[in-house]
């Protein structure tokens, strides 16, 4: 091959190599500038609270609070499987539902469409601050959920103890434990219901048997426990006519309400009269 061709070929190769090196350096510098700008942008917000945090947290807390019945129903259904699971009953569902609702109002938030799992929320939120916020909210909800379950378990224990005392009190002589003092047996006849603690209810206008009273007490306590986690208390109340009635009320009651009205309002308080008049 002619020497001139060899020199020309070598010269062209050198020029191409130099051009590629220059382009690579330019591209590298451009990428470095972009990454530096992105880093500065993230640094401006690093350590700050995401603007959606408080709204999302409040909505999750409120939804979990209003989902008490659904939570307890699912808790009862899960049974032993809860011990081998994550320990959450409704927290994951609540977080997913509220995130989807929040994302509709704020299109800049990543969507769970096609995913629908809280684990995907953690994977699509890359910023460590945002991940920390989600974990913080999740821990708060888990604590609230556990508190609701503990209250429910306590109410079950109370109900079991009370119903046991009523059943044990209804012995061969058909005696019922007084729900007010929970110590003495009630004296029940066709004229009155009486206890040494001071309970005295006139039953002449509508006599009641020990079995009827026991059934009434059991049903009222059970109805209350289905609506409210707080333990009820019994006391005497006098009507306008001066007739005494046995009143079951809740420590957090807002006032005297009828059973029907309570059910309509779905209040977490209860108080109603057990009267034979």
Rounded to two decimals, the pTM is 0.47
Nearest one of 158, 7, 142 to 64, comparing CA atoms: 142
pLDDT of 15 strictly over 50: no
The tokens of 10 are what?
């070598």
From its phi and psi, is residue 79 left (phi > 0), alpha (psi between -120 and 50) or beta?
left
Cα within 13 Å of Cα(118), Cβ side: 16
Cα separations (Å) of 182 from 197, 222, 250, 252? 10, 17, 17, 21
Q: Rounded to an integer, what distance in angstroms lies between the CA atom of residue 150 and that of residue 193?
A: 36
Residues 239/212, Cβ–Cβ less than 8 Å = no
Q: What is the percentage of the chain residues whose pLDDT exceeds 70?
A: 52
- 6-26 mean pLDDT: 49
Surface-to-core class of residue 237, CB atoms within 10 Å of its CB (0-12 exposed, 13-18 middle, 19+ buried):
middle
- 246-271 mean pLDDT: 44
Over residues 198-256, the pLDDT tens digits come to: 887 877 766 677 777 777 877 887 777 777 767 777 777 766 566 667 778 776 644 33
| pLDDT for 12 | 46
Q: Rounded to an integer, what distance in angstroms lies between the CA atom of residue 111 and that of residue 99?
A: 8
Over residues 56-98, the pLDDT tens digits come to: 999 999 999 898 888 888 888 886 566 545 567 889 889 888 9
pLDDT of 101 strictly over 70: yes
How many C-beta atoms lie closer than 10 Å to residue 268's C-beta?
A: 15
pLDDT of 41 strictly over 50: no
Q: What is the percentage of the chain residues whose pLDDT exceeds 90?
A: 6
The tokens of 270 are what?
């209860």
């Amino acid at each position: 091959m002619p020497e001139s061709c060899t020199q020309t070929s070598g010269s062209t190769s050198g020029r191409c190599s130099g051009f590629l090196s220059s382009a690579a350096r330019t591209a590298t510098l451009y990428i470095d500038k972009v990454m530096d700008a992105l880093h500065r942008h993230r640094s401006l917000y690093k350590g700050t609270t995401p603007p959606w945090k408080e709204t999302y947290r409040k909505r999750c807390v409120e939804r979990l609070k209003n989902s008490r019945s659904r939570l307890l129903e699912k808790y009862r259904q899960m049974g032993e499987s809860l011990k081998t699971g994550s320990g959450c009953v409704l927290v994951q569902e609540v977080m997913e539902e509220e995130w989807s609702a929040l994302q509709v109002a704020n299109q800049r938030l990543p969507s769970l469409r096609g995913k629908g799992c809280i684990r995907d929320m953690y994977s699509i939120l890359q910023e460590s601050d945002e991940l920390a916020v989600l974990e913080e909210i999740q821990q708060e909800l888990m604590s609230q959920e556990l508190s609701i379950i503990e209250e429910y378990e306590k109410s079950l224990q109370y109900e079991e103890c009370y119903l046991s005392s009523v059943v044990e009190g209804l012995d061969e002589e058909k005696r019922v434990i007084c729900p007010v003092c929970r110590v003495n047996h009630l004296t029940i006849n066709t004229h009155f219901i009486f206890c040494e603690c001071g309970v005295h209810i006139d039953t002449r206008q509508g006599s009641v048997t020990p079995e009827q009273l026991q059934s009434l007490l059991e049903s009222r306590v059970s109805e209350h426990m289905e609506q409210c986690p707080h333990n009820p208390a019994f006391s005497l109340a006098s009507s306008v006519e001066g007739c005494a009635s046995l009143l079951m009320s809740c420590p957090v009651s807002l006032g005297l309400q009828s059973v029907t009205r309570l059910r309509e309002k779905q209040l977490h308080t209860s108080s109603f009269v057990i009267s034979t008049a």
